[in-house]
Amino acid sequence: MHYKVGILGATGTVGQWFVKMLEGHPWFKVKNLAASEKRVGKKYGEEVNWLISQDIPKYARDLEMVPLDPKYFDVDIIFSALPAEVAREVEPIFAKNGFVVASNASAFRMEEDVPLVIPEVNADHLKLIEVQKSVRGWDGFIVTNPNCTTIILVLSLKPLMDFGIKNVRVASMQALSGAGYPGVASLSIFDNIIPFIKNEEEKVESETLKILGKFDGNRIDFAKIKVSASCHRVLVLDGHTEAVWVTFERDVSVEDAIEAFESLKPLQLPTSPEKVIIVRREIDRPQPRLDRDAGKGMSIVVGRVRKSLEKELKYIVLGHNVVRGAAGASILNAELMVKEGYID
């Protein structure tokens, strides 16, 4: 089982993680890389400002970058790491031309007929693909993964849903890599916390409800819970930390919540971690430097689970924002689509 893949936006932070994570993938082989017009015709290894600690993977160094145009792609799957405004224009062109687009961009996440998927949470939302193709008349389709902060939060909420969640409050402490490259100016972030990230709170509050909603055969019936987010940029390279408060319809014990966290089953896919949620019982964990690479960056880590107000628990959850929260999320979605027969 081998599928040829292409990457749009290959030179950016998330694009580089796609290149890294697809090295030696058992199902997918990178054939085409695309970036901005000024890089077309140039070798990837000579143009990219590589941000990941290891060297650029050998397979990618001599790949010649192509335009953001379907006629230059001979692949089965497109991974998109494009900025939202570019993705809004480019991704539909690929979908119309029969390509499967696994997108990390925000452009189409909240479209009624576009699946917004975390495989361990709402794999059945892939059924929207047939709705999308019918409504839009496309031969291909677009499937999106959520915002990085949303993914980390929702993975932790999924096992708690059976207790009857009423509302969720979350305060995020988000890593610099989430801002892309070149990111936040050094004189703005050193010795500082920036208590505003444009559009981030709105994404968390809306995407969570779509992901936890139910597919009714034609659309997603959003979850009937309330979500309130406050998002902040902090001086950490990788790894988003989130403080979460969850109010339930009934009283839930700490041990019941921990048991639920640990019960979330991984999928049998190449990029799946052995454990989706790792619970740390140390009083001072999770921490980005110690825990962001858990499960090769594809696990989330929960700690400090404790009682709060009546019928409320609070905890800390951490995840690698550009692995689990971005490139790895799209790759896992593509693997799921292969497993479920959406990709020939």
Domain ranges, ordered by start, for the chain:
3-146+326-339, 148-321
Query: Are 221 and 214 contacting, i.e. CB atoms less than 8 angstroms apart?
Result: yes
Q: Determine which one of 125, 231, 232, 240 is catalytic.
A: 240
Query: Are 240 and 176 contacting, i.e. CB atoms less than 8 angstroms apart?
Result: no
Please name every residue paired with 233 in a beta bridge, in sequence order, or none if there are none: 174, 194
The position carrying tokens 């968390």 is 204
- Whether residue 33 is predicted with pLDDT greater than 80 in this model: the reply is yes
pLDDT tens, position by position, 273-313: 999 999 999 999 999 999 999 999 999 999 999 999 899 99
Report the alpha-carbon distance of residue 206 to residue 121 in Å, rounded: 16
Do 3-146+326-339 and 148-321 come out as alike in CATH topology? no
Is residue 232 annotated as a catalytic residue, yes or no? Answer: no
CA distances from 202 to 64, 191, 209, 222 (A): 38, 27, 11, 15
**In the numeric block, which tokens belong to residue 286?**
């999770």
Report the alpha-carbon distance of residue 210 to residue 16 in Å, rounded: 28
Report the percent of the chain where pLDDT is more than 90: 95
- The per-residue pLDDT for 53 is 85
* Mean pLDDT rounded to a whole number for the chain: 97
Query: Are 149 and 174 contacting, i.e. CB atoms less than 8 angstroms apart?
Result: yes
Report the alpha-carbon distance of residue 271 to residue 255 in Å, rounded: 29
- Which is it for the CA torsion 293, 299, 305, 311, positive or negative? positive
- Whether residue 202 is predicted with pLDDT greater than 80 in this model: the reply is yes
* The domain over range 148-321 is classified in CATH as 1.20.1630.10: no
pLDDT tens, position by position, 327-338: 999 999 999 999
Q: Determine which one of 125, 148, 231, 320 is catalytic.
A: 148
Rg of the chain (C-alpha set): 19
Phi, psi of 254 (to 5 degrees): -60, -45
Q: Which CATH class is domain 3-146+326-339?
A: alpha beta
**In the numeric block, which tokens belong to residue 272?**
């799946």
CA distances from 268 to 49, 66, 156, 271, 278 (A): 34, 34, 19, 9, 17
Report the alpha-carbon distance of residue 200 to residue 150 in Å, rounded: 9
In total, the chain counts a number of residues equal to: 344
- Which is it for the CA torsion 106, 111, 117, 122, positive or negative? positive
- The per-residue pLDDT for 54 is 86
Residue 164 identity: G
Confidence of residue 158 (pLDDT cuts 50, 70, 90): very high
Is residue 2 annotated as a catalytic residue, yes or no? Answer: no
Confidence of residue 36 (pLDDT cuts 50, 70, 90): confident
